[in-house]
Structure 1
Amino acid sequence: MTLVVIGPVTNDLVVIGNEKSNRVGGATYFQSFVFEEFFNDYLAIVNCSDENLIDDFPDKSKVQIIKKNNSHFFINEYPFEDNLDIRRQSSNFAKIPIFPSDLKDILPDDIDAFVVNPLNRHDFPKETIEYLKSFDVPIFLSVQGFLRTPDVKVNENYTIKLDNFDELPAILSCVNTIFMDESEKNIIGDNIDVDEIIITDGSRGSRVISGNEYKIEAVNCENVVDSTGCGDTYMAAYISKKLTTNSILKSANFASKIACEKLSFFGPFKGDI
């Protein structure tokens, strides 16, 4: 069962209180550590200009680069060390779209599902989502990137605001499962025509809407160190379990557990449980 995970790898600056660190980031990067541990048969496809950004992936042989003329840069600032649910973000809003022509020669012959991780709405034009739909396999989508728009320019970057956009319903109609947080759900509203919706809410847990609604309690984490990439970790853990068990409750509770493990140390999930 081959899982194809697509989306940018980033150069990030993470600020927690007064501490700053430069790291590799992006949803596809964080998810690759979870898939390496719990799924293994995956291919990560990333769009960037700096090929060195893939050096920190758990297995470089499972990464394909779509070379572009820029890379995404994000600043993730957590002003309150005792509340990492609160984050301020800014970005360079790189315009480096992935087109069907970028994918045709690098996709494997056998694909069982796609994981799509836009970081802004330039990454995946509607034609690319429609191309992925043509494979007739499940598509798991992180919504957040499609809602990000530039707000106030600060030096070379822009603060981020979230807003709906006209093409989103057509994009969502092509996918099977979407992931978002409660603030993003409030922007999109209730008129969402997908099979499964996973909504995370940080330390307050998560819920899954698929016919019925399932409320999932967060796993208590006594040593919260770093929440950057926690939502991406939850998403990958949920997908890993869902593809192998087809159980919503098992998948969501497993995802909560793995997200809690990731919270307790810096960087991506370490796979040591």
Structure 2
Amino acid sequence: MMFDVCVVGHITKDVANTADGKIETPGGTAYYTAVALKNLGMSVAVITKLHDHDTFLLSELEKEHIPVFLGESDRTTMFTNVYSSDTNTREQWVKDVARPFTVRDASRCEARIFHLGPVTKDDIPLEVIRFLADRARISLDVQGFVRNVVERSRGWAQVRHAAWKEKTAALALVNIVKANEEEARILSHERDMTEIAVELSNCGPEEVVITRGGNPSLVYSKGKSYWVPTYLPRNTVAVDPTGCGDTYMAGYLFYREKSTKLDEVGKFAAMTASLKLERGSPFRGDEADVRDFANTVGQPLPSTA
């Protein structure tokens, strides 16, 4: 079967310590992006790896009827996240990391678009990106490629940002690249967001997406910059922001198939992420929900029928 999108990335075990004890939930780009894409209306599959003991992490994907191509691994990637008071930055710790993906893993699924979502720097080797780029369009979230695992303490290691050595070679194979503001600054010596987007675009991607937490995001393509407003959730209840960037990209990939107007694509993506903040994780709304949100905030989206 040919899917609209196949998401490649490790489903993670995210650990949170609460007043009620330790809670383990699924996480990772593959989880948040795939569930959002499916609910928006795209046919989607996931290529992932985790330990046999942790297959319960796939239950949400099974409920959504999302096919999973599961590779073997003697470990499951395990994260814990600590957010700043404004939720725009976070401190991450990792305990285990699943085995890297191989060309054999990547060959198990056919799709028009492969969205690559590494969560650590060794998850998706360059040879896998090259293999997939010969077969489909590539969308890439750089987050894992700029993560370095350091400072072990009681079995956990802190995640720090570091330069991506294979940046130039990898981006030459990519059609759409996404980074958040902090990651974008690591990928470039430039400080201005537009200049960073230009630099990344010159490496090969046709479209560059830079998300900025509670600030306007940037979509850049073919010499044009599109600044996308931030849309505040309509409620004021604090919600875990984990997966917002992944939800943004799900909205982007979905609406990009319907429209060539990148300012509108960016707006749809930003509104999808805002709805995720309203309702919690993962995003389970559909296109009609996003359009209703757009009307509510006075930014109606044009018909793409």
Work out whether residues 37 and 254 of structure 2, in 8 Å CA contact, stay in contact via their aligned partners in 1: yes
Secondary structure at 1:262 match in 2 = helix
2:196 matches 1:182: no
Please name the residue that 1:240 is paired with.
Answer: 254
Say whether the 8 Å CA contact 1:33–1:271 is kept in structure 2: no
Which residue is 2:215 aligned to?
Answer: 204
Matched with 2:278 is 264
With 205-214 and 11-20 compared, the bigger mean Cα shift is at 11-20
Return 17-26 or 143-152, whichever deviates more: 17-26
How many residues of Structure 1 are paired with residues of Structure 2 in the alignment?
267
Q: What are the within-5 Å matches in structure 2 for residues 54-203 of structure 1?
A: 54-57=58-61, 58-80=63-85, 83-92=86-95, 94-104=97-107, 106-108=108-110, 111-135=111-135, 137-189=136-188, 190=196, 191-192=199-200, 193=203, 194-203=205-214
**In 1: Cα distance, 2:269 partner to 2:22 partner:** 28
Distance (Å, rounded) in 2 between the aligned partners of 1:16 and 1:205: 32
Separation of aligned partners in 2, 1:256 and 1:115? 18
Shift of 1:205: 2.1
Residue 89 of structure 1 aligns with an amino acid whose one-letter code is Q
**2:219 is aligned with 1:216:** no
SS at match of 1:2: strand
Q: How many Å apart are 1:214 and its aligned residue?
A: 0.8
Deviation, structure 1 residue 88:
1.3
| SS of match in other structure, 2:214 | helix
Q: CA deviation at 1:132?
A: 0.6
- Helix, strand or coil for the counterpart of 1:245? coil
Instruction: Give the letter for the 2:154 counterpart.
Output: N
Quick one: structure 1 residues 17 and 184, their matched pair in 2 at CA, closer, same or farther if it must change by over 3 Å?
Answer: farther
* CA-to-aligned-CA distance 1:49-81 (integer Å, 9 cap, x gap): 13221112242452221121111101011252x
> 1:157 Cα shift?
1.6
Separation of aligned partners in 2, 1:19 and 1:245: 46
- How far off its partner does 1:240 sit? 0.6
Work out whether residues 7 and 116 of structure 1, in 8 Å CA contact, stay in contact via their aligned partners in 2.
yes
Q: Secondary structure at the match of 1:112?
A: strand
Match of 1:42 among 44, 48, 70: 44
Contact in 1 for aligned 2:44/2:66 (Cα 8 Å): no
Alignment deviations for residues 25-53 of structure 1 (CA, whole Å, 9 cap, x no partner): 01110112211111331111112113221
Gaps of 5+ in 1: none
Verify the 8 A CA contact 1:196 1:208 in the aligned structure 2. Answer: yes
**Structure 1 CA distance, aligned partners of 2:109 and 2:245?**
26
Question: Letter of the aligned partner of 2:228 in structure 1?
Answer: I
User: TM-score scaled to structure 2, two decimals?
Assistant: 0.82
SS in 2 for 1:11: strand
Provide, for residues 155-191 of structure 1, a one-character-per-residue CA deviation record: whole Å limited to 9, x for no partner: 1121111111321211111101111011111111133
* Offset of residue 15 of structure 1: 5.5
What is the rounded CA distance, in whole Å, between the counterparts of 2:279 and 2:7 in structure 1? 24
TM-score (norm 1): 0.91
Paired residues of 2:6 and 2:45 also in contact (CA < 8 A): yes
Q: CA RMSD in A?
A: 2.0
* Structure exhibiting the larger radius of gyration computed from Cα positions: 2
Secondary structure in structure 2 of the residue aligned to 1:244? coil
Alignment identity in percent?
Answer: 27
